[in-house]
Amino acid sequence: MAENKAGRHVVVAMSGGVDSSVAAALLLEQGYRVTGVMLRLWAEAGPAANRCCTPDAVADARRVAGVLGIPFYVRDYKEIFKKTVVDYFTEAYARGLTPNPCPVCNRHIRFGRLLEEALALDADYLATGHYARVRRTESGEYQLLKGIDPAKDQSYVLHRLGQAQLAHALFPLGEYTKLQVRAMAQARGLPVFNRADSQDLCFVGNGDYRQFLSRHAPEAIQPGPILDTAGRVLGEHRGLPYYTVGQRKGLGIAARQPLYVLALEPSRNAIIVGTAEELGRRELTAVDVTYVSGRPPPSPLRVAAKIRYKAREVPATLTPLPGDRAHVRFDEPLRDVTPGQSVVFYQGEVVLGGGIIESADFG
């Protein structure tokens, strides 16, 4: 049965960009009662503003709301964003990890605090401009699906959403390509149709996360030894955050054959390097694993896994472990399995869930 959208109230998380603006326009055209909300997020003092909510971005979002004729509000989320997202980011780097804060933000800020606030204000849904889709099965379970544009699919950063969130989530752009979205914005007279896409790490105002860490987590950037797999000292690194697994350039080591970063060891403040043959990993262990359905599979399951947002999917076997952990064995060795990044599990277009990579092994 088709949903009666007349009078159904949806809050759209607006950023002043083209995606959330078109999302609001489409929902309005579909018969929803739409309210735009923009979040003021934490930013460093001084000129390094949070790029998600600059004064210009607020003005753009307000202009779009005016064109659409919808109410628009700005909410102050600085404190919760700093505690939940920014502190997570700096603390992870201080532990020698390479974090991706976007899934944390989507789970706890947009579809945590903002969704709770929207529902308390009598909204039925929260919508964003993410390129993803939600489907309800015949049994009543909600599924998270990839967006149809493979170049823009953002289901990876939404993998931590569960049934309670997806029941109230709308992603109007999931059925469109980015090119179509820009064309729709222009056709509707939205003044942001040609605005550049936002980048990751919105709170790193100057775009250099290492400079950001030097100001907010200086203990994470300390010189230390570069070691080979036998423990021999080959050189000195500038600080663990300057390196990531699989990196070749910038090591400053003269060797007979190219060397790559194999691992970061915060306990010794050391970087372990080795040859390309030593780089590949077939297995990993993930922690803080969540499943969209709310329950882990009862037995090992064949999946396609992504170990980074822009990584390709790789066939793998997922084995749930006690304590919200999981073991993943890939069909082929991967060169950039990085502790701190998210591993996300798929079956076709359906997102099963994911977790944070804790460790990797050759297998």
At position 321, the amino acid (one-letter code) is L
At position 65, the amino acid (one-letter code) is A
Q: CA-to-CA distance for 25 and 160, rounded, in angstroms? A: 27
Residue 259 CB partners (closer than 8 Å, separation 6+)? 234, 248, 251, 253, 273, 274, 275
Listing DSSP states for 259-298 in one string gives: -EEEEEETTTTEEEEE-HHHH-EEEEEEEEEEETTSS--S
Instruction: Give the sheet arrangement for strand 224-227, strand by strand.
Output: 233-237, 224-227, 270-274, 260-265
The strand pair at 314-321 and 325-334 is best described as antiparallel
Specify burial of residue 282 (Cβ count, 10 A radius: 0-12, 13-18, 19+). middle
Residues annotated as part of the active site: 105, 202
At position 245, the amino acid (one-letter code) is V
Q: CA-to-CA distance for 317 and 283, rounded, in angstroms? A: 10
Q: CA-to-CA distance for 102 and 52, rounded, in angstroms? A: 13
